[in-house]
């Protein structure tokens, strides 16, 4: 039954690919790569990934989504600027997070609400084998319909949201939500937490060596509450540092160093961010992070 479902999905995708070929598709509309739903607001959405210097306890890694100078209908005409939703390393990271959860189910998650748990637990040790190929076979290469490094709209200063992701996620896992918010006129700074609670993350050492941060697997000796509380404290600090980053971007971008190799011009953000009443938001573990941050942070 499982194989039949996979085969049906592959056949459906093959039909869609055939329809895009010139013999079958006579329209003049551009052929778009596979992508998440387009934004629903009036603005096409730009984005920048920013990583500041320092280890996970001092730096920050964030994706900034913002309303661009382009109308939303230009999004499909600039698909060459769309990022891949998740590269191969992060796809494997998602699967390894699932393996960890299936091996040791968290005490706070209601197991009865998840179908086929026992069946999935049997195959969990092998799930990472070929996961990249299976994902791409079923879904193709999925893109986010957001535009890398395009100019921010200068119509006004844009309200700010600092967003915290859930356990096993990252800065792009909530792209659908963050993109829509930005399309409707908000700047969303989506922090990628580097406390071991994300599916995968990274930082650069002083000698510019990339160091991966996999999802932390709790051992039988770990006290779950104590371990998660320790992560929560770091997550809260990361949200606060993200707010610091966005304030600096708005006032003086010379105070911000983006150490990513493909970084874009940050000066566009100067005097474009309204951080007078910033909003903190998050989902799941990010919701808990938001509540603690609101308790600690007076801004």
Q: What confidence tens digit (pLDDT) does each residue in 230-261 have?
A: 999 999 999 999 999 999 999 988 889 999 99
Closest Cα to residue 66, out of 84, 47, 83, 51?
47
Q: How many other C-beta atoms lie within 10 A of the C-beta of residue 96?
A: 19
Kindly state the average pLDDT of the residues 276-296. Answer: 97
Q: What pLDDT was estimated at residue 193?
A: 98
Tell me the pLDDT of the chain averaged across its residues: 90
How much is the average pLDDT of 149-157? Answer: 97
pLDDT at 10: 39
For residue range 208-220, what is the model confidence (pLDDT) as tens digits?
A: 999 999 999 998 8
Rounded-to-integer distance, Cα 190 and Cα 180, Å: 13
Cβ neighbours of residue 97 closer than 8 Å, sequence gap 6 or more? 168, 199, 215
Q: Per-residue pLDDT averaged across 97-103, rounded? A: 91
Q: Which residue has the higher pLDDT, 253 or 203?
A: 203
pLDDT level of residue 14 (50, 70, 90 thresholds): very low
Please tell me the distance from the alpha carbon of residue 222 to that of residue 213, in angstroms, as a whole number: 19
Whole-number pLDDT of residue 29: 61
pLDDT band at 103 (very low <50, low <70, confident <90, very high): confident
Query: pLDDT at position 55, please?
Result: 95
Q: How confident is the model at residue 115 (pLDDT cuts 50, 70, 90)?
A: confident
């Amino acid at each position: 039954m499982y194989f039949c479902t996979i085969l049906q999905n592959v056949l459906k995708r093959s039909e869609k690919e055939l329809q895009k070929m010139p013999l079958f598709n006579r329209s003049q509309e551009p052929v778009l790569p596979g992508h998440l739903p387009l934004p629903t607001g009036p603005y096409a959405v730009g984005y920048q990934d920013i990583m500041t210097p320092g280890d996970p306890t001092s730096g920050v890694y964030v994706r900034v989504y913002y309303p661009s100078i382009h109308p939303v209908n230009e999004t499909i005409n600039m698909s060459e600027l769309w990022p891949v939703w998740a590269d191969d390393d992060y796809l494997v990271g998602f699967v390894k997070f699932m393996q960890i959860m299936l091996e040791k189910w968290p005490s706070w998650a209601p197991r009865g609400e998840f179908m086929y748990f026992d069946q999935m637990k049997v195959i969990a040790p092998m799930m990472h084998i070929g996961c990249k190929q299976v994902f791409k076979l079923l879904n193709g290469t999925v893109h986010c319909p957001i535009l890398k490094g395009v100019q921010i709209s200068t119509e006004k200063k844009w309200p700010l949201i600092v967003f915290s992701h859930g356990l096993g996620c990252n800065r792009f896992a909530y792209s659908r939500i963050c993109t829509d918010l930005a399309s409707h006129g908000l700047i969303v700074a989506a922090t990628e937490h580097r406390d071991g609670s994300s599916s995968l993350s990274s930082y650069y050492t002083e000698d510019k060596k990339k160091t991966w941060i996999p999802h932390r697997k709790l051992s039988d000796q770990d006290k779950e509450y104590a371990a998660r509380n320790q992560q929560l404290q770091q997550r809260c600090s990361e949200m606060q540092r993200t707010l610091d980053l966005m304030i600096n971007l708005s006032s003086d971008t010379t105070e911000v160093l983006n150490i990513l190799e493909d970084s874009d011009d940050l000066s566009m953000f100067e005097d474009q961010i309204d951080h007078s009443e910033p909003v903190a938001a998050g989902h799941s573990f990010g919701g808990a992070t938001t509540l603690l941050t609101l308790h600690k942070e007076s801004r």
